[in-house]
Amino acid sequence: YGVDFDLREITCFGLNNITDADVSFLKDHHLSLKFVAESRYGDISYINVNPIAFNNHSLASVNNEFNSILLGGSVSGDLIFTGKGAGCYPTAYAIIDDLYKIHKKKKKIYFENPIKINLGLDHEMYQYYVRTKDSQYITPYISKEEFFKLDCEFYAIIKEEK
């Protein structure tokens, strides 16, 4: 996209906090949990990595060693490319190599225009699966600002096919 950004500013929430209770709850609600990196460039631009719980979405059926990339175009609509991943060792090596090169400034991650990156605070409303210290629940549709006010130990954004 052409804009420099600080990797430390990317909203990133991994799956390391997930419990068996989370998996059971999501399964009971027919939700498929995936770890998803998203970026968007435009009036509202952001980069984030979050657990997403898919309901009736094409990405819900991507399993095992398969990976998918979903590209959204204004003319083409959503395009999904799916194929086998490289496996855990080649993928881990590639990630570590990229991070090392970025750290040593041998590789630059950049965006096209000098804009301020909005890290996922778009104006869309989402439902969230939330686990707190005392309960598990699915929120009504709320903004990301409202979501950030919740005290949760684990969450997943719920997305459906548009």
Predicted confidence (pLDDT) per residue in 113-144, tens digit:
433 444 444 567 888 999 998 999 999 998 87
Phi/psi for 46 (5° steps) reads -160, 165
61 vs 83: CA distance, rounded Å? 12
Q: Do residues 5 and 116 make contact, with C-beta atoms less than 8 angstroms apart?
A: no
**pLDDT tens digits for range 29-55:** 999 988 888 877 777 667 778 888 988
**Whole-number pLDDT of residue 97:** 72
Across the chain, mean pLDDT equals 76
Tokens of 33: 């949990």
- Three-class SS state of 23: helix
What is the pTM (predicted TM-score) of this model? 0.65
